Structure 1
Amino acid sequence: MDDLARLEELLLQKQGLVIINSHEEQRVLSMLDRFALLNGRYVTTWSVTGGLCEGSTRKPVYNTDQIPDALRHILTSPDNSVYVFFDAHHFLADPTVIRLLKDLLALDSGRMLVMIAPEIELPGDLKKIAAVLEPKLPSKERVFQILKEEAAKWADRSGQKVSGSRESISLLTQHLSGLTESDVRKLCRMSIHDDGAITAADIGRVLRHKHQMMESAELLTLETNVPKLEEIGGLNRLKQWLGIRREVFIDPANSPGLPSPKGVLLLGVQGAGKSLAAKCVAGSWRLPLFRLDFGQLYGKYHGESETNLRNALNIAQTIAPCVLWMDEIEKGLATDAGDGDGGVSRRMLATLLTWMNERKEPVFIVATANDITSLPPELMRKGRFDEIFFVDLPDDAARRQIVSIHLVKRRLEPALFDLGRLAELTTGYSGAEIEQAIVAAGYAAHADRRPLRQSDVENAITGTQPLSVVMAEQISALRTWASSRTVPAN
């Protein structure tokens, strides 16, 4: 049932007061005009700036700028109007307004009152006598139709057809889902306007705008610096796992009988590349990556932290399809907090587990953790995640690849370096430590006003101690625990 049919059903049931929670005033007003035309009625609008305005011409009714005066006027007016109030929720704390509304609704006269605002919280007196309508967001089919309409308009103006690959158009349609129709139309125009083409750059811009449009968007961070798969060294088994499941997640309609991938938990040595592995998922699947920092969710009032978590998860669902990176998840859900935090950690865990079980939208979770002993057993239960990967320090082949990647990033030719020797020297080093050694070597060469040499990198490597030496006991214990409980990421 579409929005017009749902609205018509409510109004024709003589539901005297209908609340429509929507930002799209003009779209809802057009819908009400269509309803009135089909049912022999006319629409009268009210706003604080214009008072009552009657009929299709919106003829003003004088001395109705104040909502009590407008309601008194309606009490003595014909019964065949649909009265539409904009922003009336600002006045619902006034007992006079509540009394007048109750008097109007008690008449059972057939007058129809509609209030439109982004979010209306009714006082208890009105909750039982009002119906609430939440307009549905456009389906993917409707989003695609809007995109075609805007492309046709651009073609009419420019005399040229809009270009774009099938994959770009499909991705744009996916990422426009979850927005209102007016926002979809606005972002379609933005994507097409400058060059008449739909490209990967347009998809990135749409994602940034979509994120900004979300209420409480500050709870999630859009990670824009997501590397391509070939820019990530090692993690071969994780890359293979992702490659096998990409199509099922991206296009479940063409994968009947296969459940959509839910997520992975990445455990590992600090600095070994779990964050990079999280980015690897988004890079591999060409999806937006949003980082959830539990530290930002905690509030000082009772229930505020759980509300923030629910809001963040709702944003992720609205933005879907996407990858949701829960960074250092043990810090937000640690079991050793007990009741020392007032039970907040337990309530946060319950909120997260409920959402993980019930979500329908394509949100792929990548949770990272350093300390497995702090994670609650409920989170580790089979089925919460598709797989638990252990991100260890890179092996010899991965280190060669990492050295090569970071040399290329600095416009250096890997063939001019002895990669085997550098890989040997960096045994026990994390990818981040290898990168920092190359950066330090670059500083040394720059200070001497000469190109970077093999010896610079070797000196930088041997001049520092890796974390695997500094924290040898902890890393050994973690590896022992992970050996029989997780899948190696590399």
Structure 2
Amino acid sequence: MSELQDLTALIRANTPLIVIETQDEARVVDLFRQALSQVWRALYRWSITEGLRRLDMDREDEAEGPPDASAALQMMKQAEQRGIYLLLDFHPYLGYASSQRQLRDIVQRRHSLPHVVVLVGSKIELPAELDALAVRFSPRLPDANALLKLVREEAAHYADEHGGRRVEVDGEAVQQIVRNLQGLSLTDARRIARQLIFADGALNANDLPQLARLKFELLNRSGHLHYEYDTAQFAEVAGARRLKRWIEQRRNVFVAGDASPDPYRYQLDPPKGMLLLGVQGCGKSMLAKATAGGFGVPLLRLDFGTLYDKYHGETEKNLRAALASAEQLAPCVLWIDEIEKGLASGGEDGGVSRRVLGYLLTWMAERRSAAASGHVFIVATANQVHELPAELLRKGRFDEIFFVDLPDPDTRVEVLRLHLARRQLPADDFNLPALAAAANGFSGAEIEQAIVSALYTAHAERTPLDTDLLMQEIRNTRPLSVLMAEQVGALRQWARERTVPAD
């Protein structure tokens, strides 16, 4: 059934109390006006600034009652014909016992006609006595056609305000903009579309990063997600050839979804995510950033530490809010860094970790049949695999579990070349094979730190960095694979038969 049909059915059933949470009051009023064409009722709107006004006749400019909440309820009770009463931001007045009692009498039809009372507001919390009598109705978010119409309207407004100058439009970019506006109300989508158009009089691929930021700022009301402005490209990451190829194979299916022209797309499940295990400092975080860059979508980071709350149930509520925000920001990559710290098994926290794990697993499973959240790709990273719950590692939770190992000789050469280039140092001036051999057992982060330390030594000695200085720094460094040889060895042994090598 359509949104209008659902609402009409509630009116026909004389539903006594309907609660609608929305920021778009105008759209709700318009929806009820449309419903009157199928089921007639007198239609009224009340607000504290305008009082009670009738909307189904050409008399909207005439107030039929004072703005006082109690007086409005009394008029509703004494009305001689049944009607629909849209009460805007009325719920704060239900804190008064008299107003609450008056509304309960109307809803329970005590000496009152069978009215349909509709409470409209951005967030409505009712007293328990009224909440049990209420039906909540959620207006559906605009579809792609409605959003495309909206973008065209704003483009026309731009032309009107700029002497007929037309907006420069890239058709493919507009399709992506419309796809990224999905999940927003018409009001929010219009605000963002107008900002993009009026910024430079154009709609093109350059608008997509700005759209992602604006949408994130609008939807991340919980504050538990972090927008990572600096993503990376796979060219900036050494090694991980198998993982890069795996991502590239799934790129078009993830980004385009049902809009993809590929005739075989319906045979392919949308990619859900991957778990990256590995030795510390081997590039898991960089790979998470590069995955977002490879897909060409925003990167959101979920910090489990911000979710935990001392009050019962609040932690799970925070997780629900964060995941709901991620769904509305789709398509995106959701990066859960060091996931073991938030889901480590144990009973010291009163079972909070187990409940958080349970909700996360349920959400991951339900995404298979949810088109919107199917475009949230999870990248979870972990260092301590033995602290991860077994339920998370079961086949099917993630599409794949990759192990990011210590770099091999060829990858170490690539790491050296990348970090030297970032510091405007010509890699050809160094004996990279010899340096890579000396750095056996080093992680990528340790190789980078050796270059940083060698540069400080060169600066102190007023001499350019060369192979000898860098070699000396490498030989003076004890990598993690030596300092914690047993733990690193155990992790690599565990991963050998249980995971897919990233390289």
Residue 42 of structure 1 deviates from its aligned partner by 5.3
For 1:173, give the aligned amino acid.
V
Superposition TM-score, scaled by structure 2 size: 0.90
Is the CA contact 1:45–1:58 (under 8 Å) kept in the aligned structure 2? no
Identity across the alignment (%): 44
* Cα-to-partner distance string for 1:99-130 (whole Å, 9 max, x where unaligned): 21233230563533221111223333333443
Task: Find 1:356's aligned residue among 364, 367, 374.
Answer: 364
For 1:94, give the aligned amino acid.
Y
Residues in 1 aligned to 2:195 and 2:186: alpha-carbon distance in whole angstroms: 14
The 1:168/1:415 distance shift into structure 2, 3 A limit, reads farther
The 1:166/1:446 distance shift into structure 2, 3 A limit, reads farther
1:147 aligns with 2:157: no
- The runs of at least 4 consecutive aligned structure 1 residues that moved more than 6 Å come to none
* Cα-to-partner distance string for 1:134-162 (whole Å, 9 max, x where unaligned): 01111233323322332333244444443
The 1:120/1:413 distance shift into structure 2, 3 A limit, reads same
Residue 82 of structure 1 deviates from its aligned partner by 3.2
Residues in 2 aligned to 1:200 and 1:416: alpha-carbon distance in whole angstroms: 39
The 1:172/1:437 distance shift into structure 2, 3 A limit, reads farther
For 2:208, give the aligned amino acid.
I
Residue 39 of structure 1 deviates from its aligned partner by 5.7
Residues in 1 aligned to 2:341 and 2:40: alpha-carbon distance in whole angstroms: 61
Secondary structure, aligned partner of 2:276: strand
Identify the residue that residue 268 of structure 1 maps to in structure 2.
278
The 1:428/1:304 distance shift into structure 2, 3 A limit, reads same
- Runs (5+) with no aligned partner, structure 1: none
Superposition TM-score, scaled by structure 1 size: 0.92
Task: Find 2:436's aligned residue among 423, 432, 442.
Answer: 423
Of 89-98 and 326-335, deviating more is 89-98
Residues in 2 aligned to 1:118 and 1:140: alpha-carbon distance in whole angstroms: 24
The 1:144/1:397 distance shift into structure 2, 3 A limit, reads farther
1:35-54 matches, within 5 Å, as: 35-36=35-36, 43-54=43-54
For 2:84, give the aligned amino acid.
V
1:27 aligns with 2:27: yes
* Cα-to-partner distance string for 1:157-214 (whole Å, 9 max, x where unaligned): 4444434545533332232111111111111111121112234442222222222222
* Cα-to-partner distance string for 1:240-289 (whole Å, 9 max, x where unaligned): 11111112222332401111111111111011111112112111111111
Residues in 2 aligned to 1:229 and 1:425: alpha-carbon distance in whole angstroms: 26
Is the CA contact 1:400–1:419 (under 8 Å) kept in the aligned structure 2? yes
1:295-314 matches, within 5 Å, as: 295-314=305-324
Identify the residue that residue 116 of structure 1 maps to in structure 2.
120
Identify the residue that residue 292 of structure 2 maps to in structure 1.
282
Residue 390 of structure 1 deviates from its aligned partner by 0.5
Residues in 2 aligned to 1:115 and 1:373: alpha-carbon distance in whole angstroms: 51
- The number of residue pairs the alignment matches comes to 487
Residues in 1 aligned to 2:356 and 2:327: alpha-carbon distance in whole angstroms: 18
1:406 aligns with 2:419: yes
Residues in 1 aligned to 2:391 and 2:40: alpha-carbon distance in whole angstroms: 59
Task: Find 1:135's aligned residue among 119, 132, 139.
Answer: 139
The 1:447/1:200 distance shift into structure 2, 3 A limit, reads farther
Task: Find 1:329's aligned residue among 322, 339, 342.
Answer: 339
Residues in 2 aligned to 1:428 and 1:50: alpha-carbon distance in whole angstroms: 74
Identify the residue that residue 176 of structure 1 maps to in structure 2.
181
Is the CA contact 1:211–1:217 (under 8 Å) kept in the aligned structure 2? no
Secondary structure, aligned partner of 2:454: helix
Is the CA contact 1:36–1:82 (under 8 Å) kept in the aligned structure 2? no
For 2:390, give the aligned amino acid.
P
Identify the residue that residue 10 of structure 1 maps to in structure 2.
10
Is the CA contact 2:86–2:117 (under 8 Å) kept in the aligned structure 1? yes
1:96 aligns with 2:82: no
* Cα-to-partner distance string for 1:206-255 (whole Å, 9 max, x where unaligned): 22222222254311111111112211111111001111111222233240
- Runs (5+) with no aligned partner, structure 2: none
